Structure 1
């Protein structure tokens, strides 16, 4: 998409369905994004890292801030941010001391161990979604789509929960379990889309 259309460039092609391309997240909010910097002079480092040995490279793109590579090894996607090519020739891991430092340290440790041939997952458990979490997120996003299309609790109960209670008369519907669950889903779906997805990125 041209930067002149709408005034900005898109990180994700808006003509493609969501999920066909890996998401690109700011390293400030995602401890699953490893930042590689060129090591200071005087350090002897591992030379010429081949990121392809870590897993399948599912995305590799560059922008004004450098290059980002997404690697999938079965545990999820590790994103490696490189400000320059020197970062692979003389690599050093940047570890900001922030609220998710422990997770960043775990990710960095796993990265180095994998480079040395240890068969360890790239992402720690805190950053891996379970099957139940995935199903819950799909349900919430479906709920949000129904709400954005003008639907309310009854439509959510019908289309998302597939509940027969969605067809109840108004008096019975008002006190039904399906209505209460649908209302909670709508509330949680709005919170997820507005800001709560950031908790997923930080392993919370």
Structure 2
């Protein structure tokens, strides 16, 4: 059975309350406002956002000196709020500043959107001239994209080979498309 709590003012000297249905309660046995508010559980609203947008907002929040400083964001607040508005559900997308303020004050939770990841697979020659399968890796420190044969993969400290679909498409295009010299193609990570 679920109850709806309502806070009502009761005059001093009142000993019982009667509902519209005729139910009676002894005022002394009803919880007071403080007890109800201490025991109330409020679930935060959760909104999924792209990881890069969430990272940008988190950095801005950490560097802000209060809520007003958060909205200043070194002069590019409008750009970030427009970006946020693209990913918020209606009607929240019309006023992303309100949701951002709620998030800043911990009334709303932003979580990374679970987006599919892709690898860019390529055909490479090994030192003996044999075709080997490989993947394109990106070095996070230098931003370079490098093909590696699967048997010679680099350490993962600064390197990764999983990309968003858009990033994978851009890499394939830079490599001359699927008909390019090393035949780049994207594979969804969970397809492997």
Q: TM-score, normalised by structure 2?
A: 0.24
Larger Cα-atom Rg: 2
- Relative to its length, the structure with more helix (as a share) is 1
- Per chain length, whose mean CA-contact separation is higher, i.e. which structure has more relative contact order (CA < 8 Å, sep 6+)? 1
